[in-house]
Amino acid sequence: MQEPTTEPKTFQEAILYFADRNRCIDYLALRRWPNGMPACPVCGRTDAKFLEKQGKWQCKAVHHHRQFSVKVGTVMEDSAIPLEKWLPAVWAIVNDKNGISSWELHRTLGVTQKTAWFMLHRIRMGMSLQDKHKKTGKGFGPSKIGDGGKGNGNGAVEVDETFVGGKLRNMHRDRRARFAAESGHTGGATGKTVVLGMLDREAREIRAKVVPNVKRETLQNEVLNNVKYGTKIYTDDAVPYDKLHWRYVHEVVNHAEEYVRGQVHTNGLENFWSLLKRGLKGTYVAVEPFHLERYVDEQVLKSPQVARSGCLLSPILRAFANALRGVSNPRMA
């Protein structure tokens, strides 16, 4: 399979680029399977026959469900929306710094508002690779960040929290109660949602997630679950962090007295918060903590801090791959 040489640079270009069904199939296949060789989701064979008319493959082994499409095992699997709509949407979400709205998708792609909304949330679901780990309670990622005090001190981790939204109080009382019950997020006294962030300066890795409150137990446990013991940690002087010195080399930034004391600052995260909030401005994701969670994941993947990491994939490619990763189909998990 041949990969087209020039990738789109604007949403309009992406729409044209992905207007051809077979190009969409090739594009996805190359990103999903080694060498673009489709693997049968039932038996794993990689020599399936492509059925031009259906745009599907048929496995050569004899078993049930021999035919499969490139959507199998992705967030797109159970929808009838064509790839020619899905791929430009993924492209736009991954490439647009400010986060595209369902309204924009609806207008530009020519799908209904309902469809645009559905796509947006499915794609964000695919992008939130941290989900699985959140559910297991083992922190955000497969491993901990920080240098565990073994390195040269460059592996410091900034920890900081921020408040987003505040529109929760404007919600109807019943609805608010339902959100609180379902999500465990009460929004606190201020009606804002708390996002906790951690930045490993050396690895350039950001971890951020919505947390239910700013209690010591909540924030401290997240740090314990995500940062290697012994690592140098920089936080502000907020009370929830006051016991971190038991496990870490803890240095405190006092915003009231001095903004930056040498290496001791949380400016990396401050930058991330401002990007996050700029993107949220004028959108309604902030209203519901569930949506905010997806949005935070999306921003983590696109953040310039992550872009400078030594990963093989550019953040955009990585985000694309994650957006397409199957979460709806346990066979592919």
Residue selected from 29, 42, 125, 317 as contacting Zn ion according to rule CB under 5 A: 42
Nearer to Zn ion by Cβ, of 36 and 151: the residue is: 36
* Of residues 52-81, those binding Zn ion (CB under 5 A): 59, 61
Distance CA 39, CA 276 (A): 38
* Minimum distance from residue 69 beta carbon to Zn ion (Å): 14
Q: Which stretch binds Zn ion (CB under 5 A): 51-59, 112-120, 219-227, 287-295?
A: 51-59
CA distance 234 to 241: 10
The span from the first CA to the last CA of the chain, in angstroms, equals 25
User: Is residue 47 within the footprint of Zn ion (CB under 5 A)?
Assistant: no
Among 25, 28, 40, 111, binds Zn ion (CB under 5 A): 40
Least distance (Å) between residue 120 CB and Zn ion? 33
- Give the binding-site size for Zn ion (rule: CB under 5 A): 6
Binding status of residue 1 toward Zn ion by CB under 5 A: no
The widest CA-to-CA distance across the chain, in whole angstroms, is 73
Q: Which is nearer to Zn ion, 18 or 68 (CB)?
A: 68
The whole-angstrom separation of Cα 197 and Cα 186 is 19
Q: Which is nearer to Zn ion, 14 or 72 (CB)?
A: 72
Q: How far is the CB of 27 from Zn ion (least distance, A)?
A: 23
Question: Are the C-beta atoms of 110 and 96 separated by less than 8 Å?
Answer: no
DSSP 146: S
Residue placing its CB nearer to Zn ion in the complex, 40 or 286: 40
**CB neighbours of 143 closer than 8 A, spacing ≥ 6?**
none
- How far is 259 from 169, CA to CA, in rounded Å? 33
d(CA 154, CA 304): 19
Question: Smallest distance from the beta carbon of 169 to Zn ion, in angstroms?
Answer: 54
Q: Which is nearer to Zn ion, 39 or 127 (CB)?
A: 39
User: Applying CB under 5 A, which part among 42-50, 109-117, 234-242, 291-299 lies near Zn ion?
Assistant: 42-50
Using rule CB under 5 A, residue 93 touches Zn ion: no
DSSP string, 243-295: TGGGTSEEEEE-TTT-S-BTTB--HHHHHHHHHHHHHHTT-SGGGSHHHHHHH
Which residues, listed in sequence order, are joined to residue 141 by a DSSP beta bridge? none
* Site stretch for Zn ion (CB under 5 A), options 41-49, 111-119, 243-251, 293-301: 41-49
Write out the residues near Zn ion by the rule CB under 5 A. 40, 42-43, 45, 59, 61
